[in-house]
Structure 1
Amino acid sequence: MTDKLTAGARLVPPAPTPQPPPSQPPRQGKGKGKGKPRGALAWIGRIMGLFAGLLTLGVAGAVLAGFIAYQRFAADLPDVTGLRNYQPRMMSRIYAGDSRLLSELAVERRIFVPYTAIPEIVKRAFVSAEDQNFFLHGGVDPIAIARAAVTDLMTYRQGRRPIGASTITQQVAKNMLLGSSEVSLARKAREAILAIRLDQSLSKERILELYLNEIYLGLQSYGVAAAAQSYFNKPLDELTVQEAAFLAALPKAPNNYNPFRFPDAAKARRDWVLDRMAEDRVITAEQAAAAKAQPIAPAQYRRPDMVAGADYFAEEVRRRLIDRFGADQTTQGGLVVRTSLDPVLQAAADTALREGLMRYDRRRGGWRGPVARLPAGPALRTGWEGQLGQVQRPPGMLPDWKLAVVLEASDTEAKLGFVDRAAGAVPRVLPMQMADLGWARVAHLPPGALVPPPNLQLGPTPRRIADVVKPGDVVMAELAPATAGQGRNAGRPERLLLRQIPLVQGALVSIEPSTGRVLALSGGWSFEMSQFNRATQASRQPGSSFKPFVYLTALANGISPSQRFLDAPFVLDQGAAGKWRPNNYEMDFLGAVPLRIALEKSLNLVTVRVANQVGMDAVAQTAIGFRLFDNMPRVLPAALGAVETTVLREAGAYAGLAMGGREVVPTLIDSVQDRDGHVIWRAGARSCHGCEDPLHLPVLADDRRQVVDPASTFQLVMMMQGVVSRGTGGAAAKGLDRAIAGKTGTSQDFQDAWFGGFTPDLVTVVWIGFDTPTSLGNNETGGALAAPIWHDYMAVALKGRPKLAFVPPPGVALVAWDSGWGTVTDAFKPDQVPGASGPVGGGGIPQAEGPGADIAAPAPSSAGGVDSALGGLY
C-alpha cells in the first residue's frame, strides 16, 4: 500500500513552492555555493554608499570653501578693464634744434612697440619659453599647474624654491595689477583670479603686447625693444632666431643670464628655448641645431650721438617740462621735445666761457696745488702707471684734460707721465716747461675753500719748476701739440700745460631776438661739478648793465640823447639810514654831460639824476615791462643796478631792445609731442595774414606787447652802439666789423661782472662772479672780464651770418652832432635835433638839479628797500 501510495504520489504534481516577490532576489542559503558572495556584495554596496555620501559632502564643502575663498581673495582685486587702454611708461626724448638727441628722460628705459610691429619669431619664442599653451588656455593652465605640483612634491625638503606654473596672462596680472612677487598661496590665488578675468576681458594679442612691452629683461631694459638695443645694439626687427631665443630666456632670471657676465649660463638657457621652439614647431630641428651652434654675441648698447656739453640747457628743459606737464608725464609719457638749442653755438659758448674763467683764474686765482701726491722714489719711476690709475678723476675736470704725475723735475722742465687714452691707453712721458708756468703763483687757501678769502695774497712769480710742482705730484694737464718755428720764433715740441679748475663761475645766454629762442645756454664751469644753473637760478645784481632801462625811460619821456645832465656830487638824505653818496667809477666829475656820453662812460651820478627826474616808478615799470624783474623797489640805488635778476632775464630784456621795444619771452622749447605724435604745446605761435591765399605773400604779424615805443628804443640802441665803439665795452666789438650795441655792468665791490650786447639778429649776455658773492678784485669790471668772453663767443656765432644794420623806425632822424667829446651820430625825434628850432630835449622836462643838492629819498615800494651802499659801478 505504501508503495502504491508512493508511486501514486509521484504521479501527482507537487504543490507549487511560494516564490518571493520579483523585486527581491532569491535568498542564498548558508554554507558553500551561492550564499556567501551575496552577503559580501551587500557590505560593499553599503561602504560604497557611505563613500559616495562622504564624497558628496566633501565636494559640497570644497565648493563652499572655494566660494568663500574666492569671495575673500576677489573682494579687493583691481579692475582689469583699465588695461584695455593702458599706456605703458615710456621714456621722453629731448632733441636739439638740428634734431640731434639732447637727453633721455625715463624712470624705466622702455620703447613701446605695438603688437603688429613685433616680429613673429620674437612672439613665438616667448610663448614657447614661458607659456606653450598660451593661445589655448583661459588664463590659467591646469596641466602646467599639475606638472609643477608633482615637481614641487618630489623636491620637497630639498631647500629649493618651488617652481611656478604662471602663464603669460598671470605674469601680466602680477606685474601690472598686483605689483607683488611674494611666494604665497594667497598671492597665487589672487593672480589666478585676475588672469581668468584678463583672459575674458582682453584679446590674446593685447595680453601678449602688454607682456612683451612690460617685462623686465635686465640691463635697465623694460620690454623687448629696449632689450634688443641693450644686448645687441640693434632694432627689434633685425634680431636673428638665436637672438630672439636669448631674449626669451631672460624673464626667468635676467641677471643670472647676463651674457656679458655669465656667457655659459646664458647660452645654455638660450639653447633650451631653441629646443622648446623646435618642439612647438616654431622652427625646424635643423634651424634649432644651426642656431645652437652660434655663440651669443652681445654688443654694448651705444646711444645715438648726443649733444655734448648741453647739460645745463637739458636740465632747464626738464624742469620746465615738469612745471608744465608734471613729473609723471615728463619721465614716463613718451614725450618728443624739440628745443631751440644750436649745438655749434653751445660748444662755442662753453669754450668761450671756460677760457674766460681760466684767464681770470690764472691772473687772480694763483696755483692751488696738485690733485694728489704719490710716494716719490724708484717705485714711482717704474710703476707709476698703476699708481696713477688709482687716483680719482676730479669732478669738473674737462674731458680733454689728463691726469699726469711728475716723475722728475729740473729748474726749467719737468717730466710727466700720463695714460693717453685717445691713443689706446698708451703710457706716455712728456715735458712741462717753465716758460708755460709764469701764471702759477702759489695761492694759500684753506682746504676745501670755494671762494678766495678777502685780499688773497699770492706768492712770487715762480722761477723754477720746483716752485710749482715736485716729483710725485698728480696734476691736471692739457696736451699742447708741437708747433713749427716761423722767422725768429723757434718752434716748440709737444708738451703738457698745467691746468686747474677755477673757483670763479660764470654764465652765458644767447637768444634769437626775433623769436626769443635760446640758442645757447652755459650755466657754469661744469654740470658734473655743480648742477646749479647760474644762467637761470642765480639772482645777481646787474650793476650798470641795468642803466639802459633808466635811459630808455628818459628817452620815452621826451629827453633827448643830447640833453645834458650834471655829473657832480650827489647826496640823498635817507633819514635814519643816513645819507647816500654815490660816486663814479673814476671818482671824478665831468660837469654837464650829454645823455649819450653819460651812457658811454657809465656815469653813476648822471644816471641817478636822470632816474630821479623821470621817477623810479617809471623806471621800474619799464624794467618790469621787459620782464627783467617781477617787481622792483622804487628807490634810487636800484637805478644803478642794486636789484637782482638772472642772466636769462637780462638776455630777454636786451632782446626786447633789439626788437624795437617789444616784449620778448625767452623760450628753450619749440614744441612738445605726445607718444602718438600729436603736438600738445608749441612756443610763440604767430598769426599769419594771407597764409590761406596762395596768390599773395604771407605776412607774419608780431603780436608781442610793445613796452616802449620804437623811436625811443632806437635812440637807446644808437647810444648803446657808442658804448662798444667808444666807451666801456670796447673789448666786445673789437675786430668783429658788425653793428653792435651793448652795455657793461659791474656791481658794488666788483662782485659781479656783466656784458650784454646784441646785433640785429643775435643777443648774448655774459656774467662772471663767485657763487658766494665775493669781490673779484679791484678793477675787475664787466668790460675787463665779461666783454672778452662775449667777443670770443660772438666771433664764432656771427660767422656765416649776414651783416645787418639797425633799421631806424619812422619819425626819427639820424644826425651827427658835436657832443663835446667828439662828433657822434644819434637818432632824434622831431624838435629834438641839435641846432633846430624848439627846445632840445622836448617834453618840458626840466634840467637836472644843481651840484651837491640834497634830495629826499623816494619811498620804497611794497617790494622793500635796497641797501643804500649798493649800486652799479662801471
Structure 2
Amino acid sequence: MTPRGRKPSRLVADRRYSAETGKPKSPKGSKPSGRRPTRRKPARKPRGNRLVRAITWPFRALWALVWRVTLFTTVVLALVVGASVYYVSSTLPEVAALTDGRARGSVTLLDRDGRAFAMRGDQFGGVVSADTVSQHLVNAVIATEDKRFYRHLGVSPRGVAGAIRINLSEGRGPLSGHGGSTITQQAAKLICLGVEYDPSEWESEADYIADCRRGSLTRKIKEAVYAIAMETKYTKSEILTIYLNRAYMGGGAYGAEAAARRYFAKPASELDPGESAMIAGLLTAPSSLAPTANLERSQRRAATVLRLMEEQGYLTPAEAQRHQDNPATMPPEAQDTSGGYFADWVMQSGPEFFTRKTTDDVIIETTLDQHIQKAAARAVNQIFSEKVREGSKAEVAVVVMSADGAVRAMIGGRDTDASGLFNRAFQAVRQTGSAFKPFVYATALELGHSPLDTVVDEPYCLNIPGSGQWCPENYSRRNYGRVTLVEALKRSLNIPTIKVSESVGRDLVIRVARDFGIVRELHDVPSMALGTSESTLIEMTGAYAGILNGGSSVTPYGLRQLRLKGDSEPLMGTGGGIGERVIRPEAAAQLIWMMEKVVSEGTVRRAKVPGWQVAGKTGTSREARDAWFVGFTADYVTGVWMGYDDNTSLTGVTGSGLPAEIFQAVMAGVHEGVDPVPLPAQAPPQPEPQYVEPVPQPQPQPAPQQQRRRESVLEQVLRDILGGG
C-alpha cells in the first residue's frame, strides 16, 4: 500500500518511454553523439582454415552432387518400382487360376489288377492350400526354403547378399548357383512372371521352362518386382498355396498332393514330420533327391531338414531325433512301380494326343501283370549276375504275353527297372536266325505235309542269280541222311529246312510269316528260311503266340482301355488281340508237337520247366551277333533276345544257352504254384511217310564234303554235342 495522501509513483518502465512515441527516453544529461556505434570486428580466422576449405571444396561439392543425384535417382526408382508393382499387381489373376500351371496333362497307367504302376506327363494330385496340407509340411518348406517368409515383402536383401557371398566363395559368378530367392520369388518363377506357355511361340516346352528359369540380372529385377507385386496382391497363405501346388517334386509329381500320393500313398494332409521333411528336402534337386531315384540320399536330405525345423522351433529336439532315427520310407503300394519299359511301349504305341501330347489327365488300363514282370526282372538279374562275365556290355530283352497277344511283362535292357531308355524289346530290329524256321514248317503242314514226312539231309548247293553258287551247311557241319520234318526241326538242321522252303515255295513261307506278324521285309532268297531277315522281339513273340492259339494271327497289345480322369466311360478300347486265321488248327497243333520235341529231346533242353510241357525254338544269327529263344507253355509265350547294341559277336552264347536259361527262370517264376496244363499239341497219325522232294538243282563236286567226312569220330561227337541253331 502507498502512504495516505500521496499519489502512487509511476513504474520505472513508464519513465523509459515517452508518452507520445513510446520510444525509449535518452538518459538525462546525455546527448546524441552524432556517430554510428562502432561494430566489433570478428576475430580473424587462422589462414590454415582457408587452405583446408580450398582443398576440400571439390570433394564437398562432389559429395553434394552425388547426394543429390542419389536422392533424385532413389526417388525416381521408387516411383518407377512403385508404378511397376502397381501395374503388375493389377494384372495378377485370382489365386485359383494359378494353382495348376501344367502345360500338359498326366497319364496314369494301371496294371491288370487296377493298381497304378507308372506315371507319365505332369502328375497333379489336386489343389491343396497352405491351410489344408499338413502343418508339418508347411513348417518344413519354410524352414528349408525361406525362414524369413513371414517377415519380408517378397524380396530378402539379406538372403540375396548371403547368396552372392556363397557364390563368390565357391568360385562362381554372383548370380550363378545360390539365388537367395524367397518363396515368393520362387512362386513368381513357377508362374513364369505371368507369361503362359504358347506352343506357337516356343520350339518346345523345355525351351519355355528354361527361359522362365534364366538367372540374368534383368530377369532378377523383373522377378523382384513381380514378387513384391504378389505380396501386395495376395496374402502369405495364398502365396504359399501357389508354391505348394506348382512346385515340381520329382517322380513326375507337381504339387504337394501328387508328391504325397506318389511317395507315401497318402494325402498331403496326413504327412508326418519325417515325410514332410523328405518332400521339402527334394525341392532343391527334385530329380536326384526323389526317394524313387535314391531313397538313402533322400533320407539324408530329410535329416538335414529335420535339423533346420528343430533350430527354428518347429520341432523339439526329441521329435527331430526320433524322426532322424526312423527316417521315412516308401510303402509297398508306392514302391510297386516296376514296368518302366512296358509303360514306355504303351505310351509309344498309343494315340499321341492321349499319351505323349495330352493336355488332359488320362487313365490307361493295361495288360501288365506285376507278378510276371517281377519274375522276368529276377530272372534277368540272376543270370547276368551269375553267368555273364563282369564288364560285358551284352544286352537283353524279354517279352511275356498271353496267346491272344496281351503283353504281361516287358524288359528292354539289363537295367530291368529303367524307363526312358532304348527299349530293345520293340525298338531293336535284329536277325532272327533259326527262330524263323517254325514258319517254314508251318507252311508245309498247312499244305498237308506230316511232321513224319522225310527229307534228305545231304550236301546241297543252289545257284543264286547274281551271287553264284551257295552251299549251305548245318551248324554241326554234318549230314544225317534221310530225316523226318520233326527231326529236322528238333536238330535245327539247315539243309532240310532250305529244301522244305524251296519245295513249298518261298512266296508261301513269306506269306505265312507275314500273316503271323513278321511285318519287316523278308528277302525272297533261299537263305530266308534260315532267318537272315530281321524282326523285333515283340513281333517274334506275337508270331509264336499265333501258333499257340491254334493258328490265328495276333496283334500284341498292352492298352486295354483309355479314359479321362474322372470319367467312367472309356474313350477307346484295346487295339490288338486275335486276328485272322493263318493256318489250320490241326496244322498248328502238329507244329506245337514238333516244337515240344525241340525242348524235350532236341537242342534246347535247358528251357524245360518242371511239370510243364514247353515248346519253342532257338535262334543264332550270322556270326553269333544275336541269340534268341522263343517258347511257350499252355498259358504264356516268352521271347528272349541277347546281343550287343553295336552288333559285336557274342562269345560262347547261342540261343540254346543263356537265352534258354533266362526263359526257364522266367517261366519257372511265372508258373510257381500253378497247376500244370498240357500244351494243345497233336501228334501226327502214323501213315506211310511221304518223301518231300526238293526242287532239282545242279549239284557241285562233292570233294569238299567228302574231305570233311574224314574227320575223326571224336571230333564228330564233339560237334554233335555242341551243335544247335
- Specify if TM > 0.5: yes
Distance 1:250 1:355 in 2: 33
Q: 1:214 aligns with which of 246, 268, 286?
A: 246
Does the Cα contact within 8 Å between 1:567 and 1:591 map onto a contact in 2? yes
Distance 2:658 2:138 in 1: 66
Is 1:266–2:112 an aligned residue pair? no
- Secondary structure, aligned partner of 1:573: strand
After superposition, the C-alpha distances for 1:434-466 in whole angstroms (9 at most, x for unaligned) are xxxxxxxxxxxxxxxxxxxxxxxxxxxxxxxxx
Distance 2:22 2:362 in 1: 95
The one-letter code sitting in structure 2 at the alignment partner of 1:112 is G
Does the Cα contact within 8 Å between 1:170 and 1:195 map onto a contact in 2? no
Aligned-pair distance for 1:535?
3.2
Equivalent runs, 1:457-496 vs 2, <5 Å: none
1:709 to 1:306, Cα distance in 2 relative to 1, 3 A: same
Correspondence for 2:612: 738
Aligned-pair distance for 1:759?
1.8
Does the Cα contact within 8 Å between 1:626 and 1:707 map onto a contact in 2? yes
Q: 2:132 aligns with which of 118, 123, 127?
A: 118
Q: 1:804 aligns with which of 665, 669, 677?
A: 677
Is 1:709–2:578 an aligned residue pair? no
Aligned-pair distance for 1:644?
1.9
Distance 2:406 2:571 in 1: 16
Q: 1:605 aligns with which of 495, 499, 516?
A: 495
Correspondence for 2:294: none
- Secondary structure, aligned partner of 2:397: strand
The one-letter code sitting in structure 2 at the alignment partner of 1:535 is A
Correspondence for 2:347: 321
Correspondence for 2:686: 817
Q: 1:654 aligns with which of 544, 568, 588?
A: 544
Distance 1:309 1:248 in 2: 23
Does the Cα contact within 8 Å between 1:510 and 1:521 map onto a contact in 2? no
Q: 1:83 aligns with which of 80, 85, 97?
A: 97
Aligned-pair distance for 1:547?
0.5
Distance 1:852 1:758 in 2: 40
- Secondary structure, aligned partner of 1:639: helix
Distance 1:640 1:191 in 2: 70
Distance 2:666 2:377 in 1: 9
1:144 to 1:655, Cα distance in 2 relative to 1, 3 A: closer
TM-score (norm. length: structure 2): 0.61
Equivalent runs, 1:810-849 vs 2, <5 Å: 815-817=684-686, 847-849=693-695
1:579 to 1:80, Cα distance in 2 relative to 1, 3 A: farther
Aligned-pair distance for 1:582?
0.6
1:206 to 1:797, Cα distance in 2 relative to 1, 3 A: same
Does the Cα contact within 8 Å between 2:450 and 2:684 map onto a contact in 1? no
1:184 to 1:528, Cα distance in 2 relative to 1, 3 A: closer
Does the Cα contact within 8 Å between 2:430 and 2:534 map onto a contact in 1? yes
Distance 1:269 1:560 in 2: 84
Does the Cα contact within 8 Å between 1:110 and 1:225 map onto a contact in 2? yes
Equivalent runs, 1:617-656 vs 2, <5 Å: 617-656=507-546
Distance 1:354 1:66 in 2: 64
Q: 1:729 aligns with which of 597, 604, 613?
A: 604
Is 1:719–2:585 an aligned residue pair? no
The one-letter code sitting in structure 2 at the alignment partner of 1:550 is V
Aligned-pair distance for 1:605?
1.5
Correspondence for 1:236: 268
Distance 2:249 2:401 in 1: 44
Equivalent runs, 1:148-547 vs 2, <5 Å: 175-178=190-193, 179=212, 210-215=242-247, 223-225=255-257, 235-238=267-270, 260-261=303-304, 265-267=308-310, 269=312, 295-296=319-320, 298=323, 300-305=327-332, 313-318=339-344, 320-321=346-347, 324=350, 325=352, 338-357=365-384, 361=388, 500=390, 502=392, 504-519=394-409, 521=411, 523-524=413-414, 532-547=422-437
Aligned-pair distance for 1:210?
4.0
Equivalent runs, 1:539-578 vs 2, <5 Å: 539-578=429-468
Aligned-pair distance for 1:769?
3.7
Aligned-pair distance for 1:228?
6.7
Distance 2:699 2:467 in 1: 18
Correspondence for 1:615: 505
Distance 1:253 1:505 in 2: 31
After superposition, the C-alpha distances for 1:13-57 in whole angstroms (9 at most, x for unaligned) are xxxxxxxxxxxxxxxxx999xxxxxxxxxxxxxxxxxxxxxxxxx
- Secondary structure, aligned partner of 1:783: coil
The answer for unaligned runs of 5 or more in structure 1 is: 1-29, 33-61, 135-140, 272-290, 366-499, 687-701, 820-833, 835-839, 855-871
Distance 2:250 2:474 in 1: 66
Aligned-pair distance for 1:352?
3.7
The one-letter code sitting in structure 1 at the alignment partner of 2:329 is R
Which range moved further: 112-121 or 634-643?
A: 112-121
1:804 to 1:220, Cα distance in 2 relative to 1, 3 A: closer
Does the Cα contact within 8 Å between 2:342 and 2:411 map onto a contact in 1? no
Distance 2:439 2:186 in 1: 65
1:101 to 1:592, Cα distance in 2 relative to 1, 3 A: same
Equivalent runs, 1:708-787 vs 2, <5 Å: 708-733=583-608, 736-776=610-650, 781-787=654-660
After superposition, the C-alpha distances for 1:108-145 in whole angstroms (9 at most, x for unaligned) are x86434459925968998999999xx9xxxxxx9x997
Aligned-pair distance for 1:72?
12
Distance 2:629 2:279 in 1: 57
Distance 1:314 1:775 in 2: 28
Distance 1:569 1:253 in 2: 67
The answer for unaligned runs of 5 or more in structure 2 is: 1-20, 24-75, 167-173, 175-180, 194-211, 290-300, 701-722
Aligned-pair distance for 1:764?
1.5
Aligned-pair distance for 1:578?
2.4
1:72 to 1:683, Cα distance in 2 relative to 1, 3 A: same
Q: Which has the higher helix share?
A: 2
> How many residues align structurally?
574
Distance 2:282 2:370 in 1: 39
The one-letter code sitting in structure 1 at the alignment partner of 2:607 is A
Distance 1:765 1:774 in 2: 21
Distance 2:120 2:306 in 1: 31
Distance 1:251 1:583 in 2: 64
The one-letter code sitting in structure 2 at the alignment partner of 1:783 is S
1:81 to 1:609, Cα distance in 2 relative to 1, 3 A: farther
Distance 2:276 2:383 in 1: 53
1:770 to 1:627, Cα distance in 2 relative to 1, 3 A: same
Aligned-pair distance for 1:292?
7.2
Does the Cα contact within 8 Å between 1:245 and 1:270 map onto a contact in 2? no
Distance 1:798 1:243 in 2: 38
1:119 to 1:632, Cα distance in 2 relative to 1, 3 A: same
Which range moved further: 599-608 or 582-591?
A: 582-591
Does the Cα contact within 8 Å between 2:344 and 2:420 map onto a contact in 1? no
TM-score (norm. length: structure 1): 0.52
Percent of residue pairs bearing the same amino acid type: 29
Aligned-pair distance for 1:75?
14
Distance 1:746 1:246 in 2: 50
